Amino acid sequence: MDITPMDEYMLHQTIEPVAHVSQNDPSWAERLFVGFHEPGNFALHTGLSLYPNNDTVEAYACFIDWRDLGKQHSLRMSTDLANGRHPLGAGSIRVDVLEPMKRFKMTSTDNDLGLAYELDVVARGEPHAAESVKRYRKGRLAYDNIVVFQPVTVSGTVEFNGHSFVAHDILGHRDRSWGIRTSGEGRIPRGLYLFAGGEFEDYSIMVFLQERFNGDIVRHTGAVTYADSGRTVEFVEITHELDIDADARALRSGRLTMLDAEGKSWIMDVQPEAILYMAGAGYTSMPDRRGKLGRPSWHATWDLNDRETVRKIDGLNDHLCSATLNGSIHGRAMVEPLYGEYTRYGLRAAEGATFDES
């Protein structure tokens, strides 16, 4: 029986030690993600995943210097969970929860990529929880988790290649999730998956969509958060109009239209300015995908102007966008689409697809 220091805390929900989860699937994980960007400055997406059935903790950071949008710098790190859950981290990347659901710190110290940061992440609204629809693949439960979305501000410093970058209350978002989500979702044969986080001075928009190849809804969820009060109102209806380059499988522009539970309509238009490839975080179908890094550290710098490189890393990509809300409120958004065969937009199955959202 695996008794760890966490068992000292009165947070048990079963008769098992904290180290034991409800199912023995190797993809069972807890995850934390923070994403934000500031045009003209930089973009950083960083996160951490804990895999109790694999005795593994993995962390990552994907960075773009806005002065050179033709390059993406990525870092992944892994450590043995047997070393303990606290301090929470892997390699040089660490997360410190200061106030649950309100404030935490993310840091990265010396590593082979040369990316260091110390960031204070503060919630600017209530969390919005979305429970997944159970999905099976060849008889195996492949998707059953809870995702909590929350708008945040990020402040601190980033050091890379001798340059210092300052973040001062940059608007961003984070998610926190736990459960089963089979890895290998970098490319899918059929269906549409889309997350969008829109950040505006007075509002935050969160949208999460899953549809079958014919447009049938698997899950639509989302909410608007009011920055002045932190109040969150759920969306009851969501539609989308996406302009997608079918050959490049890239989003050219998009419109999301939402109706909230109080009867108010919201329209968010997005225009991509850069793409951050989440293959740098292990969201691929390759053998060393997330949860399977298999070594303490990995890093890479990719030339995004090289077509062959982009072809290899293309999959779950975060489009960093300028955004307009209701025609006049300007801000920014991150849109993360994943699509295989999808009739409405004339899309075919992704090359090398393994994870089916159909």
Residue 353: inside a domain: no
CATH number of the domain that residue 17 is part of: 2.40.370.10
Q: For residues 121 and 70, what is the distance between their CA atoms, to the nearest angstrom?
A: 27
Residue-level pLDDT at 13:
80
Residue 352: inside a domain: no
Q: For residues 54 and 206, what is the distance between their CA atoms, to the nearest angstrom?
A: 31
Mean pLDDT of 155-166: 96
Number of other residues whose CB lies within 10 A of the CB of residue 286: 16
The residue written with tokens 């660490």 in the block is: 94
Q: What are phi and psi of 313, to 5 degrees?
A: -100, -5
Q: How many domains does the chain have?
A: 1
Residue-level pLDDT at 158:
98
Domain assignment of residue 118, given as a range: 5-345
Q: Which residue has the higher pLDDT, 64 or 5?
A: 64
Residue-level pLDDT at 339:
87
Burial 82-93 (b: 16+ CB within 10 A, else e): eeebeebbbbbb
Mean pLDDT of 46-52: 95
Q: Is the pLDDT of residue 122 over 80?
A: yes
Longest dimension (CA), the chain: 58
Length, in residues, of the chain? 358
Residue 228: inside a domain: yes
- DSSP β-bridge partners for residue 329: 325
Q: What are phi and psi of 343, to 5 degrees?
A: -60, -45
Residue 106: inside a domain: yes
Q: Is the pLDDT of residue 217 over 60?
A: yes
Residue-level pLDDT at 320:
98
- Comparing C-alpha atoms, which of 187, 145, 113, 105 is closest to residue 351? 187
Average pLDDT of the chain, as a whole number: 91
- Comparing C-alpha atoms, which of 86, 125, 93 is closest to residue 204? 125
Say what the alpha-carbon torsion angle 6, 145, 76, 56 is, to the nearest 10 degrees. 40
> Poorest-confidence range of 80-94, 117-131, 159-173?
80-94
Residue 333: inside a domain: yes
Q: Is the pLDDT of residue 358 over 60?
A: no
Where does the pLDDT of residue 140 fall: very low under 50, low under 70, confident under 90, or very high at 90 and above? confident
- Comparing C-alpha atoms, which of 173, 50, 164, 58 is closest to residue 116? 164
Q: For residues 97 and 334, what is the distance between their CA atoms, to the nearest angstrom?
A: 24
Residue-level pLDDT at 125:
94
Q: For residues 194 and 178, what is the distance between their CA atoms, to the nearest angstrom?
A: 19
Residue 152: inside a domain: yes
308-334 tens-digit pLDDT: 999 899 988 999 999 999 999 999 999
Residue-level pLDDT at 356:
45
Residue 338: inside a domain: yes
Residue 108: inside a domain: yes
Residue-level pLDDT at 286:
82
- Comparing C-alpha atoms, which of 54, 53, 73, 55 is closest to residue 63? 73
Helix (H), strand (E), coil (C) string for the chain: CCCCHHHHCCCCCCCCCCCCCCCCCCCEEEEEEEEEEECCCEEEEEEEEEECCCCEEEEEEEEEECCCCCEEEEEEEEEEHHHCCCCEEECCEEEEEEECCCEEEEEECCCCCCEEEEEEEEECCCCEEEECCCEEECCEEEEEEEEEEEEEEEEEEEEECCEEEEEEEEEEEEEEEEEEECCCCCCCCECEEEEEEEECCCEEEEEEEEECCCCCEEEEEEEEEECCCCCEEEEEEEEEEEEEECCCCEEEEEEEEEEECCCCEEEEEEEEEEEEEHHHHCCCCCCCCCCCCCCCEEEEEEECCCHHHHHHHCCCEEEEEEEEECCCEEEEEEEEEEECEEHHHCECCCCCCCCCCC
Mean pLDDT of 2-9: 78
> The whole model's pTM is what?
0.93
Residue-level pLDDT at 184:
65
Q: Is the pLDDT of residue 357 over 50?
A: no
Say what the alpha-carbon torsion angle 286, 287, 290, 294 is, to the nearest 10 degrees. -150
> Poorest-confidence range of 182-191, 218-227, 267-276?
182-191
Burial 244-264 (b: 16+ CB within 10 A, else e): beeeebbbeebebebebeeee
58-79 tens-digit pLDDT: 999 999 999 999 999 999 999 9
Are the C-beta atoms of residues 325 and 267 closer than 8 Å to each other? yes
Residue-level pLDDT at 15:
80
Q: For residues 53 and 28, what is the distance between their CA atoms, to the nearest angstrom?
A: 7
Mean pLDDT of 245-256: 91
Q: For residues 348 and 150, what is the distance between their CA atoms, to the nearest angstrom?
A: 33
